[in-house]
Amino acid sequence: MDKQLPPARWRKSSRSSDQQACVEVADLQSTVGVRDSKDPAGPVLTFGRAAVADLAARIRKGELEL
């Protein structure tokens, strides 16, 4: 069963310039959506806000090998 997503403003990093192979994120009220910019009508992964905040904090601290 497909879950209907609320209307969203999708954004990608300003560092991605005109590249097509990017990840886009959107505030979906209680969760954060992530999708492939090449396939905006395709699948969307959703993550809890706390999980996304934790990931961003760990990236800023350099705790992950990216």
The total number of structural domains that make up the chain: 1
Question: CA–CA separation, 8 vs 50, rounded Å?
Answer: 19
What is the distance, to the nearest Å, from the Cα of residue 5 to the centroid of all Cα atoms in its chain?
14
Lowest mean pLDDT among 2-6, 33-37, 39-43, 60-64: 2-6
Q: What is the pLDDT of residue 1?
A: 37
Decide if 45 is inside a domain. yes
Question: CA–CA separation, 51 vs 66, rounded Å?
Answer: 17
Decide if 13 is inside a domain. no
16-51 per-position pLDDT tens digit = 767 667 899 999 988 999 999 889 889 999 999 999
Question: CA–CA separation, 5 vs 50, rounded Å?
Answer: 19
Contact 59, 66 (CB under 8 A): yes
Q: Residue 34: which domain range?
A: 21-61
Decide if 2 is inside a domain. no
- pTM confidence score: 0.76
